[in-house]
Structure 1
Amino acid sequence: MKENNQLLQVDEVKITILMDNTIDAFMTGNEIVHRFNMSKAPLTTKDGFSTLIAEHGFSAIIQIKCGERQETILLDTGVSSNGILHNIDTLGINVNDIKAIVLSHGHIDHTMGLPSLIEKLDSSQVPIIFHPDAFLDRKLIMPGGYEVDVSAPKLNVLQQKKIDLVAKADPTLLVDNMVLVSGEIARTTDFETGFPVHYTKRDGRWENDPLVKDDQCVIINVRGKGLVVITGCCHSGLINTINYAQKLTNCQQVYAVLGGFHLTGGTFEKIIPITIDELKKSGQPI
């Protein structure tokens, strides 16, 4: 792991949530957060769905501006084959503006829209950044004994040829050093111990894999503000993720952290108080 990965400071970052677990059409915005204006769109679209739809999972468009230059990357692709494509169309986003795709980790609720998205892209060899574990078979074995397949979709030969697959565990700089993908995040806290019901298939055998080592985040350094850290599920733990972003960039100032934190459910809710305490100790705003 190289520290101080020469991440450039940028003038502005705009993050558009393409897919999240819920949507509230009546939620208002402010000078920082701009909500989708439902008054300018019908409640349903010609395909029968709501103007914007919500699904379990996550996807975000990240636009970075530095001087006159603006670049766009995509983090994650949601849980269904067409969910983010529906919202992309509704929001008027051109998929061919996307210069890189980052997979936060290889679970179905963050990757299932990838094949359909690839079909929409021009043949421009857009890089897809992911950890080498991301496309392994994965499952959850729940306390009741039933199993849930959470594997990422398999890309066919034509889809693989259309894009540039970049599998690496180390950090990756994108769009001329304006964006840093963390790569595998160091686990240093004693309370963020992972996802105990998670299993990965390696060499034909299932093994318990609570750490979900393919978990990674996106890091941007906004001039005069500090780091913006965007997570997919944060299986590494929120504090581990923030600490690692600071170490990678040699920047202690954190402006914003957003995305999935994986702090719901009986396994994780118990660490919410200590997570908040650690945020307070670090001086980060809550």
Structure 2
Amino acid sequence: MVKDTQLLEVDEVKITIIMDNTVDVFMTDNEIVHRFDLGSDFPPIAEHGFSAMIQVKSGNKQGAVLLDLGISSSGILHNMDSLGINATDIQAIILSHGHSDHTMGLPGLIDKLGTHKVPLISHPDAFLDKKIIMPGGDEINISPPKLTALQQEKITFVKKSDPTLLVDDMVLVSGEIPRTTDFEKGFPLHYTKRNGQWENDSVIKDDQCVIVNVREQGLVIITGCCHSGVINTIRYAQALTNSQKVYAVLGGFHLTGGIFEKIIPTTIAELQKINPTYLMPGHCTGWSAIHQIAQSMPKAFIPNNVGTTLVFQGK
């Protein structure tokens, strides 16, 4: 459990996907899923990145946090306007980790916030420079943005590896996630610059998730890229909250590409054991993994899409 604190149950959580890799205006609604209106003359766009607005409500208490900021300021601000999301409603910004496709919208959002100062919750490693070195030697820069002094003054930085409770204890940021499975081994091509030196960082320690506990339904776990592994992430969420019941898992599961596609069958087998009511894989999950999850767990599977809003209500 989180020391001296406890994640409180909520009556409702509403999650709006502000940015993801796909957009499809023909998807239909149901009692849980609400899609973007086809008739709008200002539709959202898709980019390789992730961002989600998480709104919680319990009794007369309510609030909202923003998880991640996509790969560009122009993209995240366009979609916030398109989806009617007001920046001043944001009570905290959370970074799932420090890669560019989750952080590059931060400068634009800070400017849009104006005098509305909010805390930014991240792991201490989140703002370190990062890159991928491909087997052939090509390097891909995936570092977070460099903020100006003025932009930094508009944010209260909360850098910690431990869990953090937000919004009257209704939202839990996991902090650093322990690696306990024997198959989720990280990303061997990943490097982080520490103390002026590049070092291999396959673990990607700054990865974290967001957890909400819906009354009598179970945990809703929202991930950015899940570099810790989706099974490690779920198990840690269960341990932190002392709750085994998982209602929904959504976000990036990072099962794309040759390194990670090998563990898709094992991951799905473990997901079936956990048996969440809903699964909405997106962003870096990858085409193959998404389709295999849909085929293996059709009742739980929800197709992801920019502009999708999920409403999970307690009993």
> Same fold per TM (> 0.5)?
yes
1:236 aligned residue? 228
Cα deviation, 1:90-130, whole Å, max 9, x if unaligned, reads 11111100000000000000000001000011323200000
Cα shift at 1:283? 4.0
TM-score scaled to structure 1, two decimals? 0.94
2:291 aligned residue? none
1:30 and 2:30 correspond? yes
Structure 2 matches for 1:2-41, cutoff 5 A?
2=2, 5-39=5-39, 41=40
Cα deviation, 1:235-261, whole Å, max 9, x if unaligned, reads 000000000000000011000000000
Out of 78, 83, 106, the residue aligned to residue 86 of structure 1 is 78
Structure 1 CA distance for aligned equivalents of residues 111 and 275 of structure 2: 45
Structure 1 CA distance for aligned equivalents of residues 274 and 54 of structure 2: 26
Which sits farther off after the overlay, 235-244 or 64-73? 64-73
| 1:284–1:27 CA distance, 2 compared to 1 (3 A) | closer
2:184 aligned residue? 192
1:157 aligned residue? 149
Count of residue pairs brought into register by the alignment: 278
Structure 2 CA distance for aligned equivalents of residues 164 and 170 of structure 1: 17
1:104 and 2:96 correspond? yes
1:276 and 2:273 correspond? no
Q: State whether residues 76 and 103 of structure 1, in contact with CA within 8 Å, keep that contact through their aligned partners in structure 2.
A: yes
Q: State whether residues 246 and 274 of structure 2, in contact with CA within 8 Å, keep that contact through their aligned partners in structure 1.
A: no
C-alpha RMSD of matched pairs (Å): 1.3
Find the residue that maps to 1:187 and give its secondary structure.
coil
Structure 2 CA distance for aligned equivalents of residues 70 and 203 of structure 1: 41
**AA matched with 1:261:** F
Cα deviation, 1:46-98, whole Å, max 9, x if unaligned, reads xxxxx210000100000101112221110000001211110110111111000
Q: State whether residues 164 and 174 of structure 2, in contact with CA within 8 Å, keep that contact through their aligned partners in structure 1.
A: yes
Q: State whether residues 19 and 49 of structure 2, in contact with CA within 8 Å, keep that contact through their aligned partners in structure 1.
A: yes
Find the residue that maps to 2:91 and give its secondary structure.
strand
**AA matched with 2:157:** L
| 1:60–1:196 CA distance, 2 compared to 1 (3 A) | same
Out of 178, 181, 203, the residue aligned to residue 173 of structure 2 is 181
Q: State whether residues 4 and 249 of structure 1, in contact with CA within 8 Å, keep that contact through their aligned partners in structure 2.
A: no
Could you say which structure has the greater relative contact order, defined with CA pairs below 8 angstroms and 6 or more residues apart? 2
**AA matched with 2:37:** N
Task: List gaps (5 residues or longer) in structure 2.
Answer: 278-296, 298-315
Q: State whether residues 217 and 230 of structure 1, in contact with CA within 8 Å, keep that contact through their aligned partners in structure 2.
A: yes
Q: State whether residues 21 and 57 of structure 1, in contact with CA within 8 Å, keep that contact through their aligned partners in structure 2.
A: yes
Q: State whether residues 29 and 35 of structure 2, in contact with CA within 8 Å, keep that contact through their aligned partners in structure 1.
A: yes
Structure 2 matches for 1:31-180, cutoff 5 A?
31-39=31-39, 41-42=40-41, 45=42, 51-180=43-172
- Sequence identity, in percent? 70
Structure 2 CA distance for aligned equivalents of residues 36 and 234 of structure 1: 26
**AA matched with 2:46:** A
Task: List gaps (5 residues or longer) in structure 1.
Answer: 46-50
